[in-house]
């Protein structure tokens, strides 16, 4: 499965349209650890690369020598090799300045620059640098095109496979390491390139860690197993969580059922125009009604490199078609165990589509 270049070119055109609207002569994007997936919405490119997009010139991707051959062969954008790392900033800014004057306006996500790069760019890029972190970037990278959803469905199927193999592998004595390995092997075998984050497997009392990690701990009967995984293919990424119970326990089953109801209540209220703050409130209300404490994180977050919406109690975001995000409330009882269930949702014109499909309750 590969991301169609047509969608990349479409976003590039969208980017240039927004540059016209905001009177920007050039946009300077950096593929850092925070923006890597977002970068892939335009082009699949290695970490540490930079993209210069002049309003009236040729976009150019700058990559280090180690990535030059692969980038040149795979890229639909012109690629220039950075042969000397110590001269990278000078080379990139030099190309940018060809298209700029002292009265020009350059758009950049300033938070993506380290202190040294920030200082260098402010001093050497001609004209004014405008922070586009909360303006142009959210507009261009807000969500999926309708025709693009099928690729997100495909990567969500890989997450379903990973969760399913964990459930099928449950037995007393198996380690968290072994469960994580089984999930990652099956996802890779079915087409996952990488995982967006380290696979989380937390058993027993460790399932109460909101962000755990796998260890050599062995699973015991009547314990929770929390799995959180994120396969990625060409920049499309899923992020799915399931919590399983090996055996039976009335309190733990009540936790699972309460979480299932909280997720279902949130999902049933998703449609264009709904505030993210309202959805966050719904999840917490349901869990409180079932006698469980508040959870210490937001209801959900965007995936696949998009930067909106954020689903939290303070969010000002309102849902619109194309937005792609998770819904993942949690119950965490320290020393006892925890439950989290996470779905991937895309907003459509008439409502929503739930992309992750593996069962939450067995």
Using alpha carbons only, give the angle 333, 343, 319 rounded to the nearest 5 degrees: 110
**Domain 5-140, CATH:** 3.40.350.10
> What's the CA dihedral at 231, 143, 358, 194 to 10 degrees?
0
At 165-206, the pLDDT tens digits run 999 999 999 999 999 999 999 999 999 999 999 999 999 999
pLDDT band at 4 (very low <50, low <70, confident <90, very high): low
At 255-266, the pLDDT tens digits run 999 999 999 999
Common-topology check for domains 5-140 and 146-354:
no
* Joined tokens for residue 106: 């350059």
Q: Which one, of 233, 241, 208, lies nearest residue 344 by Cα?
A: 241
d(CA 354, CA 340): 17
At 40-88, the pLDDT tens digits run 677 666 777 899 999 998 999 999 999 999 889 888 899 999 999 999 9
The CATH architecture one would assign to domain 146-354 is Alpha-Beta Complex (3.90)
What are the angstrom distances between the C-alpha of 338 and each of 2, 179, 243, 254, 280?
Answer: 37, 18, 8, 12, 19
pTM: 0.89
Query: Which sequence spans correspond to the domains of the chain?
Result: 5-140, 146-354
Q: Which one, of 199, 337, 353, lies nearest residue 259 by Cα?
A: 337
- pLDDT computed for residue 151 by the predictor: 93
């Amino acid at each position: 499965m590969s991301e169609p270049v047509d969608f990349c070119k479409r976003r590039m055109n969208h980017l240039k349209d927004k540059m016209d609207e905001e009177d920007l002569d050039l946009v300077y994007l950096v593929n850092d650890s925070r923006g890597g997936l977002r970068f892939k919405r335009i082009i699949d490119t290695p970490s540490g690369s930079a993209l210069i997009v002049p309003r009236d010139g040729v976009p150019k991707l700058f990559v280090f020598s180690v990535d030059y051959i692969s980038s040149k062969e795979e890229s639909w954008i012109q690629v220039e090799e950075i042969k000397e790392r110590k001269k990278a900033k000078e080379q990139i800014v030099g190309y940018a300045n060809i298209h700029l004057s002292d009265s020009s306006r350059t758009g950049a996500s300033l938070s993506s620059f380290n202190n040294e790069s920030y200082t260098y760019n402010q001093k050497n890029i001609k004209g004014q640098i405008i922070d586009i972190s909360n303006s142009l970037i959210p507009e261009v990278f807000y969500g999926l095109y309708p025709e693009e959803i099928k690729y997100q469905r495909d990567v969500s199927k890989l997450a379903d496979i990973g969760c399913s193999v964990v459930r099928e592998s449950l037995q007393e004595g198996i380690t968290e390491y072994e469960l994580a390995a089984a999930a990652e092997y099956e996802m890779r075998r079915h087409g996952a390139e990488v995982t967006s984050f380290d696979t989380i497997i937390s058993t027993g009392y460790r399932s109460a860690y909101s962000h755990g990690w796998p260890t050599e701990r062995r699973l015991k009967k009547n314990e929770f197993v929390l799995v959180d995984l994120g396969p990625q293919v060409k920049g499309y990424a899923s992020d799915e969580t399931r919590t399983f119970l090996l055996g039976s326990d009335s309190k733990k089953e009540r936790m699972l059922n309460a979480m299932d109801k909280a997720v279902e209540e949130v999902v049933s209220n998703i449609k264009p125009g709904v505030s993210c703050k309202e959805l966050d409130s719904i999840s917490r209300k349901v869990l409180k009604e079932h006698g469980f404490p508040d959870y210490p994180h937001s209801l959900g977050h965007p995936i696949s490199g998009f930067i909106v919406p954020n689903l939290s109690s303070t969010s000002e975001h309102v849902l619109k078609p194309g937005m792609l995000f998770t819904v993942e409330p949690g119950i965490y009882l320290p020393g006892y165990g925890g439950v989290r269930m996470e779905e991937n949702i895309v907003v459509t014109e008439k409502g929503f589509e739930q992309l992750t499909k593996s069962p939450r309750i067995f």
